[in-house]
Amino acid sequence: MFYVIGLGLGDAKDITVKGLEIIRKCDRVYLESYTSVLTVQQEILEEFYGRSLIAADRELVESGADEILPKKEDEDVAFLVVGDPFGATTHTDLVLRAKEKIYRICAFQVKVIHNSSILTAIGCCGLQLYSYGEIVSIPYWTDTWQPDSFYEKIASNRQRGLHTLCLLDIKVKEPTLESITKKKKEYMPPRFMNVNEAASQLIAILDNKIQNGHKDLAFTQQSLAVGLARVSCEDQHIIACSLQDMTHVDLGLPLHCLVIPAEKLHPLELEFLIQYALDKNQFQEMTQQT
């Protein structure tokens, strides 16, 4: 059997009972370590699970899937994923490749064990889940690569009266540009985008559109934004303020995400969200049209 197991968002104890029982019986257990990260170290997970884990980086998952999958009929392998197994397209691809191998050798089965995901846990800020539109990812910009297509998706959501969850970039074991052509790769230090950086990039896009004569912007620097950090952890932190103020908010350690709410909010959303307002008077001014 090949198991893909969600670990949830918080710490080692977020694993389901079913998932834990499977982990303890498997012959090999891999821990995916690049689409997201838990707030605890691998050693803590190993102590709680009572077994060793094999770190699975991007190269192994995307290029060496056959190495991960069961090699014989009586072997059980678990692949552990932060959040829910289908929270990233990489894991969908891995399941498809596993099933393709099944068709070739008919030696094992695939089973998915679900868990909590940021896609549902984001409801902790009070914005109603059924009022979210398309999710966007905000990537790190470089001097020569500054994509802004995610703005159009936020704009489309706002036009339809929907909130936008922005997932922020992480860089774990990313090769440096100089090392890509070398036989021995060198890696950049890990980086995790925070809400300050995401808000700053969004404002840079707004400024660029204004300079190019755009008048009907989907949102402005003074529009409401919600920043969240370490959702589901003991030190979870949520702040609601203007997008401009978000560039100065310090939510501490990763992981962060950002929500651009719809222009008009439901009264229950307002009542819930105001508890996280950086400035309650400013919050009421930003949302008075609702």
Supply the CATH number for residue 55's domain.
3.40.1010.10
Largest CA distance in the chain: 65
Interstrand relation of 191-192 and 170-171 (parallel, antiparallel or unpaired): antiparallel
d(CA 106, CA 167): 38
Co-location of 245 and 256 in the same domain: yes
Among 116, 134, 160, which residue terminates a domain?
116
| Tokens (6 digits) for 41 | 């170290």
What pLDDT does 240 receive?
Answer: 98
What pLDDT does 79 receive?
Answer: 93
Co-location of 201 and 108 in the same domain: no
Domain membership of residue 79 as a residue range: 2-116
Is 231 annotated to bind a ligand? Reply is: yes
d(CA 42, CA 200): 32
Q: What is the pLDDT of residues 188-215, one digit of tens each?
A: 788 999 999 999 999 999 999 999 998 8
Is 248 annotated to bind a ligand? Reply is: no
Among 81, 116, 151, which residue terminates a domain?
116
Q: What is the pLDDT of residues 249-287, one digit of tens each?
A: 999 999 999 999 999 999 999 999 999 999 999 999 888
| Tokens (6 digits) for 28 | 């090999």
Is 84 annotated to bind a ligand? Reply is: yes
Is 52 annotated to bind a ligand? Reply is: no
Co-location of 139 and 283 in the same domain: yes
Co-location of 188 and 81 in the same domain: no
The pTM of the full predicted model, rounded to 2 decimals, is 0.90
Co-location of 50 and 71 in the same domain: yes
Count of structural domains, the chain: 2
Is 256 annotated to bind a ligand? Reply is: yes
Co-location of 284 and 246 in the same domain: yes
What pLDDT does 290 receive?
Answer: 46
Is 93 annotated to bind a ligand? Reply is: no
Is 270 annotated to bind a ligand? Reply is: no
